[in-house]
Amino acid sequence: MPTEREKKFVAHWKTKRKMGKWKFCLVQGVLLWAIPVFVILQLVHVVFKDDHVFEVGQLVTSFVVWVIMGFFGFGLLMWWLNERAYRKLTIKNPNA
């Protein structure tokens, strides 16, 4: 018998996985994780580093690295972990 939390996860993931792996990685990994983390880190860097010099090349490079990490690191990892949990739960409880 699945718990209420497991039922909620299965229902939530059923809707999320409909967007597909690559769109999920773009939305969750880049838009909702990498870009906010990038912005926060840049603000922290500006506020707490006395000798901060604004360099466009470094900013662009850093942004690209964060986007790639967000997409292929965070996004794909979250997709894989959620798919794994979803499969385990639906095999254990096909009616969940």
| End-to-end Cα separation, the chain, in angstroms | 9
What's the predicted TM-score (pTM) here?
Answer: 0.85
Spell 70-91 as b/e; 16+ CB within 10 A means b.
bbeebbbebbeebeeebeebbe
Does the structure show a pLDDT above 90 at 37?
A: yes
Residue 33: count of CB within 10 angstroms of its CB: 19
Range of the structural domain that residue 53 is part of = 4-92
Residue 2: what pLDDT?
Answer: 84
Confidence of residue 19 (pLDDT cuts 50, 70, 90): very high
Total domains, the chain = 1
Residue appearing with tokens 């967007």? 19
For 38-89, the pLDDT digits (tens) are 999 999 988 888 787 888 999 999 999 999 999 999 999 999 999 999 999 9
Residue closest to 29 by CA, chosen among 62, 68, 79, 70: 70
Residue 34: what pLDDT?
Answer: 98
